[in-house]
């Protein structure tokens, strides 16, 4: 694309993944498409011959490489396209959301290869809505909205502002957007003799503490019919009592809510459940241990519930259910229950070794036994 204004100079080969599989001829075999795509990227056939084995090994689609691409699944097309793009030694590598496709193992392999490209000194331009991926891959981030730069700087700071706008109520979007723009003007107009490294250290210190984002509210909340109890104000607190919904990994918090009982009830238990953005149930609590069950509460009683938990989740967005169970009539069941009653985020982190969703606290312990040469 031509720049809107000014001049654009490019030094080195550009490899871009804007739409995986774009440029593939569906009638050609995968192998022929490798040569076709590489030629488009400016490679000679002799260069492709030298790298074809690496490309095919990374794609890992086996004998299908000699079958027409039109017979491929979307996953196979992704593997081949990505493998071509990262094996041409790009000086500038442009990726647009492509890491959100493929299975988890393939995504991890792609991340590792991109980091290897970065270490060689290449520039990676990564376009994505995936907060954790931006923080993991990037040294600098730019927040674009409606064709304009709202903010440019530390990935963690950019993601914080992005979420602030993303979760803003509709009638507040304009004011939130303007406040982000004002942040830039304020920073630009404030004299600052600190180095960029000092600024990053201050930012790390600020953002290493859990906080409350008033715009982070679920839009999928569902309350079930009440039968003897009503749950009020579910939220998360730090251990020192601050209300938060942006959490720090591996710290402990209270999930708390009040329950007002509208009937005489028996066998009372309090529940919680944490789910992923897609609704997968990660884990929760429903005190079924006999010593923790409350035998009886009379009508008008109010219970203040605090469920302490450790945030063993990796960076991302999560939802919480709340429930109270017991007997208000003849059957034991939910007296009141809420789905997606509150949500929270776990802060992104740079250089995070743990993968997927849950942090199991894995720590490597590797012992090396050096081989001895023939001379001893």
Per residue in 205-260, pLDDT (tens digit) is 445 689 998 888 888 898 999 999 999 999 999 999 999 999 999 999 999 999 99
Residue scoring higher pLDDT (113 or 261): 261
Mean pLDDT of 160-181: 79
3-state secondary structure the chain: CCCCCCCCCCCCCEEEECCCCCCCCCCCEHHHHHHHHHHHCCCCHHHHHHHHHHHHHHHCCHHHHHCEHHHCCHHHHHHHHHHHHHCCCCCEEEEECHHHCCCHHHHHHHHHHHHHHHHCCCEEEEECCCHHHHHHHCCCEEEEECCEEEEEECHHHHHHHHHHHHCCCHHHHHHHHHHHHHHHHHHHHCCCCCCHHHHHHHHHHHHCCCECCCCCCCCCCEECCCCCEEEEEEEEEECCCCEECEECCCCEEEEEEEEEECCCEEEEEEEEEEEECCCCEEEEEECCCHHHCEEEECCCCEEEEEEEEECCECCEEEEEEEEEEEECCCCEEEEEEEEEEEEEEECCCCCCCCCCCECCCCCCCCCCCCCCCCCC
Report all structural domains of the chain as residue ranges with CATH numbers, in order of start.
14-127 (3.40.50.300), 141-207 (no CATH), 222-346 (2.70.50.60)
Question: Could you tell me what percent of the chain has a pLDDT over 90?
Answer: 36
Q: What is the pLDDT of residues 59-101, one digit of tens each?
A: 888 899 999 999 998 778 878 888 888 888 788 888 877 666 5
Q: What is the pTM of this model?
A: 0.56
Residue 193 has pLDDT above 60, yes or no: no
What's the confidence (pLDDT) of residue 18? 66
What's the confidence (pLDDT) of residue 277? 79
- Using pLDDT thresholds of 50, 70 and 90, give the confidence band for residue 301: very high
Across the chain, mean pLDDT equals 83
């Amino acid at each position: 694309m031509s720049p809107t204004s000014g001049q654009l100079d490019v030094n080195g080969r550009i490899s871009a993944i804007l739409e995986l599989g774009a440029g593939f001829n569906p009638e050609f075999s995968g192998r022929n498409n490798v040569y076709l795509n590489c030629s488009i990227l400016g490679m000679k056939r002799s260069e492709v011959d030298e790298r074809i084995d690496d490309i095919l090994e990374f794609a890992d689609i086996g004998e299908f490489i000699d079958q027409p691409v039109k017979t491929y699944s979307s996953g196979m097309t992704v593997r081949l396209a990505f493998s071509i793009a990262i094996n041409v030694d790009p000086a500038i590598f442009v990726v647009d959301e492509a890491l959100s496709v493929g299975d988890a193992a393939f995504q991890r392999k792609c991340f590792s290869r991109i980091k290897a490209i970065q270490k060689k000194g290449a520039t990676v331009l990564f376009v994505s809505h995936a907060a954790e991926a931006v923080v993991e891959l990037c040294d600098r981030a730019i927040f674009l909205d409606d064709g304009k730069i709202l903010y440019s700087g530390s990935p963690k700071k950019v993601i914080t502002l992005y979420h602030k706008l993303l979760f803003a109520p509709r009638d507040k979007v304009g004011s939130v957007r303007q406040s982000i723009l004002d942040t830039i003007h304020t920073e630009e107009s404030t004299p600052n003799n600190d180095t960029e490294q000092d600024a990053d250290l201050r930012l790390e210190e600020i953002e290493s503490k859990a906080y409350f984002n008033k715009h982070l509210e679920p839009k999928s909340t569902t309350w079930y019919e009440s039968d003897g109890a009503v749950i009020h104000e579910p939220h998360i607190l730090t251990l020192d009592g601050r209300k938060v919904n942006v959490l720090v990994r591996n710290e402990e918090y209270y999930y708390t809510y009040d329950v007002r009982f509208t009937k005489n009830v028996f066998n009372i238990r309090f529940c919680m459940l944490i789910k992923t953005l897609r609704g997968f149930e990660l884990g929760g609590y429903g005190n079924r241990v006999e010593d923790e069950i409350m035998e009886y509460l009379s009508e008008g009683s109010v219970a203040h519930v605090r469920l302490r938990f450790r945030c063993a989740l990796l960076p991302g967005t999560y939802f919480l259910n709340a429930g109270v169970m017991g007997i208000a009539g003849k059957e034991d069941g939910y007296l009141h229950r809420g789905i997606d009653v509150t949500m929270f985020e776990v802060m992104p982190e740079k250089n995070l070794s743990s993968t997927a969703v849950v942090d199991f606290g894995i720590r490597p312990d590797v012992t090396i036994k050096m081989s001895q040469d023939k001379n001893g």
